Amino acid sequence: MKTVAATIRRVGLIANPEKPDVARLVRRAQKLITAARRTVVLEANTAAMLGGKFRSVCSMPELAAATDLILVFGGDGTMLKAAREIAGHLTPVLGINAGHLGFLTGVSPNHLQAALHRVWEGRFQLEERALLDGTVCRGQEYITLLALNDFVLSRGLTSRLIELEVRVNDELLTRYRCDGFIASSPTGSTAYSLAAGGAIVSPDTEALTLTPICPHTLSIRPVVVNLASTVSVRLISSRLVATVAADGQQQVELAAGDTVTIRRSARSVRLLRLEGTNFFSTLRQKLGWSGSNV
């Protein structure tokens, strides 16, 4: 990737201001990038957090169009938000973990300088990650959502189960009586789907995982279908409040008869993976599996 590295001249910075000490980390990144004779471009909220006057301040989509690489400082939630905002741009994203578990933010703050050296030297790979489109249909009204990890349908504050009818490519899969339902991309397989008993899916797998949350029937199990499939979920329950959430961040309330259609998006996002790291080593480290040196 040496030739690609040579084209990285403008680096965008996005940070979650709610993370402790993130301002110091961003300022350190600024100095390292400038010392490498690259230009720093700041996302607007990140610039406001630093409290100075900056010439190059952009929204996230503008940042993606104006830069060759984006560094995201925060946790996986910050990465998910950034991915949705810049979806469809070819600008690669590298996450600097200022959060907790950090499946998407692969670089420790302590390794920031070494990580940037690898980038300048071209010691990285680019991974294309699929996003999911979700469309809520309510009569003649349509609401569209976008997710990198997953769409989650769940009951409201009531303790009663909801009933959902799920179809795959217009063929009936089943009806669930459950607390909720997750449609997960390969990237999202290590998020809520994993906690609900879904399979871990390698990011390069063309798969969509359908995982019920606490189903009433014990024989019900997660189902994996092709990522090109169209999944339709209809809320059958009446007199119950339910919601659908994209990446746990964008939420729409559902009424009886509403249908959520989930399919692979035409847009994607590029993640930068440093040399010497891979999905399985991340699993071992983050989940504390045998073979991890952490």
Q: Which residues are catalytic?
A: 76
Cα separations (Å) of 258 from 34, 41, 140, 142, 206?
52, 42, 11, 10, 28
Virtual torsion, Cα 250, 223, 208, 60, nearest 10 deg: 20
CA 132 – CA 142 distance, rounded (Å): 16
| Tally of CB atoms within 10 A around 268 | 18
Q: Which pair of structure tokens corresponds to residue 14? A: 């996005």
Which residues, 6+ apart, have CB-to-CB distance to 43 below 8 Å?
12, 13, 14, 15, 57, 58, 59, 60, 63
DSSP track, 206-267 = -EEEEEEES-SSTT---EEEETT--EEEEE--SS--EEEEETTTEEEEE-TT-EEEEEEEEE
The residue count for the chain: 294
Q: Which pair of structure tokens corresponds to residue 170? A: 């217009």
Task: Determine the longest span between alpha carbons in the chain, in angstroms.
Answer: 61
